[in-house]
Structure 1
Amino acid sequence: MSQVTSNDPQRAWAYVPPEPLQTRQDGPLAGLTFSVKDLYGVPGWPLTASTRAPVPDPGESVLVERLLDLGAAAVGKTHLHEIALGITGLNGFGGTAHPTLPDAVPGGSSSGAAVSVALGQVGPIKVNFALGTDTGGSIRVPAAWCGVVGFKPTKGHEAWSTQGVLPLSWTCDHAGPLARDVTTVVKVHEALTGQEVQPRDWRGVRVALWLPEGWTDSTVTDAVLAFAGQLEGLGATVAPVHLPEMMDAYTPIVLSEAAQVHAEALKQDEPGFLPFTLASLRQGAALSAADVQHAFERRVEYRALLDGIFTAFDVILAPAVPTPPPLQGQDEVEIGEGVMPLRRAVLRITSPFSLLGAPVVAYPTETPFVGVQLVGRHGEDDRLLGLALALEEKGEKGA
Structure 2
Amino acid sequence: MTGSAPPFPPALPDDPQRAWAYRPASPLPGVPGGPLSGLTFSVKDLYGVPGWPLRASTRAPVPDPGESVLVRRLLDLGAAAVGKTHLHEIALGITGLNGSGGTVHPADPERVPGGSSSGAAVSVALGQVDFALGTDTGGSIRIPAAWCGVTGFKPTKRHPAWSTEGVLPLSWTCDHAGPLARDVRTVVRVHEALTGQRVSARDWAGVRVALWLPDSWVHDAVHAAVRAFSTDLEGQGAQVTRVELPEMLDAYTPIVISEAAQVHAEALRLEDPGFLPFTLATLRQGAALEPAEVQAAFGRREAYRARLDGVFTAFDVLLAPTVPTPPPLAGQDEVELRDGRLPLRRAALRLTAPFSLLGLPTLAVPAATPFVGVQLVAPQGHDDRLLGLGLGLQSAGDVRSGS
TM-score range, shorter chain: over 0.9
Which one of 367, 370, 377 corresponds to residue 368 of structure 1? 370
| Alpha-carbon offset, residue 213 of structure 1 | 2.3
| Alpha-carbon offset, residue 49 of structure 1 | 0.2
Alpha-carbon distance between aligned partners in 2 of 1:217 and 1:44, rounded to the nearest angstrom: 44
| Alpha-carbon offset, residue 22 of structure 1 | 1.4
* Equivalent pair of 1:2/1:16 in contact (CA under 8 Å): no
Residue 46 of structure 1 corresponds to 53
| Alpha-carbon offset, residue 212 of structure 1 | 1.0
Which one of 19, 37, 42 corresponds to residue 35 of structure 1? 42
| Alpha-carbon offset, residue 24 of structure 1 | 1.4
Residue 255 of structure 1 corresponds to 257
RMSD, aligned CA: 1.2
Query: Are 1:300 and 2:313 counterparts?
Result: no
Residue 322 of structure 2 corresponds to 320
| Alpha-carbon offset, residue 2 of structure 1 | 8.3
1:344-377 deviation per Cα after TM superposition (whole angstroms, max 9, x unaligned): 0000000000000000000100100000010011
Query: Are 1:108 and 2:79 counterparts?
Result: no
Residue 76 of structure 2 corresponds to 69
Which one of 167, 170, 189 corresponds to residue 191 of structure 2? 189
1:236-281 deviation per Cα after TM superposition (whole angstroms, max 9, x unaligned): 0100011100000000000000000000000011100000000000
| Paired AA for residue 99 in structure 2 | G
Alpha-carbon distance between aligned partners in 2 of 1:218 and 1:172, rounded to the nearest angstrom: 30
For 1:74, what is the secondary structure of its paired residue?
A: strand
Residue 124 of structure 1 corresponds to none
Alpha-carbon distance between aligned partners in 2 of 1:38 and 1:25, rounded to the nearest angstrom: 25
Which one of 342, 354, 357 corresponds to residue 355 of structure 1? 357
> Structure 2 stretches of 5 or more lacking a match?
1-7
* Equivalent pair of 2:37/2:79 in contact (CA under 8 Å): yes
Which one of 60, 78, 89 corresponds to residue 85 of structure 2? 78
Residue 26 of structure 2 corresponds to 19
| Paired AA for residue 262 in structure 1 | H
* Equivalent pair of 1:2/1:17 in contact (CA under 8 Å): no
Identity within the alignment, %? 75
Alpha-carbon distance between aligned partners in 2 of 1:397 and 1:258, rounded to the nearest angstrom: 35
Alpha-carbon distance between aligned partners in 2 of 1:377 and 1:261, rounded to the nearest angstrom: 29
Residue 105 of structure 2 corresponds to 98
* Equivalent pair of 1:2/1:18 in contact (CA under 8 Å): no
Alpha-carbon distance between aligned partners in 2 of 1:357 and 1:183, rounded to the nearest angstrom: 23
| Paired AA for residue 343 in structure 1 | R
* Equivalent pair of 1:208/1:239 in contact (CA under 8 Å): yes
| Alpha-carbon offset, residue 106 of structure 1 | 0.2
| Alpha-carbon offset, residue 4 of structure 1 | 5.9
Alpha-carbon distance between aligned partners in 1 of 2:186 and 2:203, rounded to the nearest angstrom: 20
For 1:340, what is the secondary structure of its paired residue?
A: strand
> Which runs of structure 2 are paired with 1:107-186 in the superposition (5 Å)?
107-121=114-128, 127-186=129-188
Alpha-carbon distance between aligned partners in 2 of 1:128 and 1:313, rounded to the nearest angstrom: 33
| Alpha-carbon offset, residue 18 of structure 1 | 1.0
| Alpha-carbon offset, residue 26 of structure 1 | 1.3
Alpha-carbon distance between aligned partners in 2 of 1:357 and 1:23, rounded to the nearest angstrom: 30
1:177-211 deviation per Cα after TM superposition (whole angstroms, max 9, x unaligned): 00000000000000000000000010000000001
Alpha-carbon distance between aligned partners in 1 of 2:149 and 2:23, rounded to the nearest angstrom: 24
| Paired AA for residue 60 in structure 1 | E
| Paired AA for residue 182 in structure 1 | V
Which one of 214, 221, 224 corresponds to residue 222 of structure 1? 224
Give TM-score scaled by structure 1 length: 0.97
For 2:13, what is the secondary structure of its paired residue?
A: helix
For 2:217, what is the secondary structure of its paired residue?
A: coil
Alpha-carbon distance between aligned partners in 2 of 1:10 and 1:23, rounded to the nearest angstrom: 27
* Equivalent pair of 1:323/1:370 in contact (CA under 8 Å): yes
Residue 58 of structure 1 corresponds to 65
| Alpha-carbon offset, residue 7 of structure 1 | 0.3
| Paired AA for residue 342 in structure 1 | L
For 1:363, what is the secondary structure of its paired residue?
A: strand
Alpha-carbon distance between aligned partners in 1 of 2:399 and 2:285, rounded to the nearest angstrom: 51
| Alpha-carbon offset, residue 3 of structure 1 | 7.4
For 1:317, what is the secondary structure of its paired residue?
A: strand
Query: Are 1:395 and 2:393 counterparts?
Result: no
* Equivalent pair of 1:259/1:281 in contact (CA under 8 Å): yes
| Paired AA for residue 160 in structure 2 | E
* Equivalent pair of 1:4/1:16 in contact (CA under 8 Å): no
| Paired AA for residue 129 in structure 1 | F
Residue 277 of structure 1 corresponds to 279
* Equivalent pair of 2:363/2:377 in contact (CA under 8 Å): yes
Alpha-carbon distance between aligned partners in 2 of 1:101 and 1:4, rounded to the nearest angstrom: 18
* Equivalent pair of 1:24/1:69 in contact (CA under 8 Å): yes
* Equivalent pair of 2:192/2:198 in contact (CA under 8 Å): yes
Alpha-carbon distance between aligned partners in 1 of 2:11 and 2:93, rounded to the nearest angstrom: 24
> Structure 1 stretches of 5 or more lacking a match?
122-126
For 1:334, what is the secondary structure of its paired residue?
A: strand
Alpha-carbon distance between aligned partners in 2 of 1:17 and 1:292, rounded to the nearest angstrom: 41
* Equivalent pair of 2:367/2:399 in contact (CA under 8 Å): no
1:19-49 deviation per Cα after TM superposition (whole angstroms, max 9, x unaligned): 1001412100000000000000000000000
Change (3 A) 1:130 1:210: same
Which one of 224, 233, 236 corresponds to residue 234 of structure 1? 236
